[in-house]
Amino acid sequence: MRLGIFAKTFARSSLETNLDAVRDAGFSCVQYNLVCAGLPTLPDGIETELCARIREAFVARDLTLAAISGTFNIIDPHVERCQRNFRCLRTLAECCSSLGASIIAICTGTCDPNNMWRHHPNNGRQETWAELLRAMREVAAVGEQTGVTMAFEPEVNNVVDTARKARQLLDTIGSSHLKVIMDGANLFHAGELPRMREILAEAIELLGQDIALAHAKDLNRDGDAGDVPAGNGLLDYDYYLSLLNASGFRGPLIAHGLTEEQVPACAAFLRERLAAVSAPAPRNHAT
C-alpha cells in the first residue's frame, strides 16, 4: 500500500505550494480536491490550461493523483441543485484524463437536505433505495462514457451504511466503473464497537476485490465517527490494515481527518503499521 493524504489538509495560496507541502511531508499520493486550485470541488468548467498546470505540478513533484473528490448528495431533495451537481460531475469526469486522474470519490447520499454526511430516518426506506439506484446508474454511465472509476464509501450516515448494502449496490448496478472506498472508521452504527473485528472482517470479505482506494482516519465513538487522526482513537489499525493487505489491496491508503500539525505523528504511525502488516511472517525452522 502507498501512503497518501487529502490535499486539503495543507492550506496554501497556490496549487504548487499545496503540493510542495504534500511532498515535503513524505507522501507519495494524493486525494485531490479542486478547491486547492481555486475552484469549487465540482466546477461548472475547468480551463485546459489549469488541467495541464495541475498535471505538471504532480509530475514535477513525483506525486500520484490517486483520486479526485467529486462528492455531492446524489439523492439531494433539492432537484435543481442535484441536477446541476450531476452536470458538474460529468464536467469533472471529462477532465480527468487531462488531470491525470482515473478515480472520482463520490458518496451515496442522504435524505437530509442540508448536509450530505448527516443521517436521515428516510435513508432506509425502499423508495430511497430505488432513488439511489436511479442516481447511481447515472453516475456509472458517466464513468463508463469517460473511462473514469466512480468510487463510493459505505458510511453510517448515508444510504449505503453497511458493507452488505455496498455489495448489493455493486451487484445491482453491475458496472466495472463503480468501485468502493474503504474507511474502517465509518462502518460502526451505535452499539457496534464491541463487534469491531467481525464488522471489519465482513466488510473486507464482501468488498475486498472492489476496493479502489482506502481511507485512514480514526474514531472515538460509534455512529458518526467524527474526524480523529489515525492512531488517536479506537480503530484496531493492525487488524484493519492486515485485512486490507490479505485481500490483495495494494492501492493508495489516504490519511484524512487531521490538521496539518497532526500530520507528522499520524504519518509515522501509519508507516509503522504498514511496515508491520507487510513484513513477511517469520519462518518456522524445524529442529
The grid coordinates of residue 230 equal 489515525
pTM as predicted: 0.95
Q: Which tens digits make up the pLDDT trace of 216-235?
A: 999 988 877 777 999 999 99
Judge whether 159 and 134 are in contact, CB under 8 Å.
no
The grid coordinates of residue 195 equal 463487534
Judge whether 256 and 105 are in contact, CB under 8 Å.
no
Q: Which tens digits make up the pLDDT trace of 41-84?
A: 999 999 999 999 999 999 999 999 999 999 999 999 999 999 99
pLDDT at 287 over 50: no
Nearest partner of 38 among 27, 49, 29, 30, judged by Cα: 49
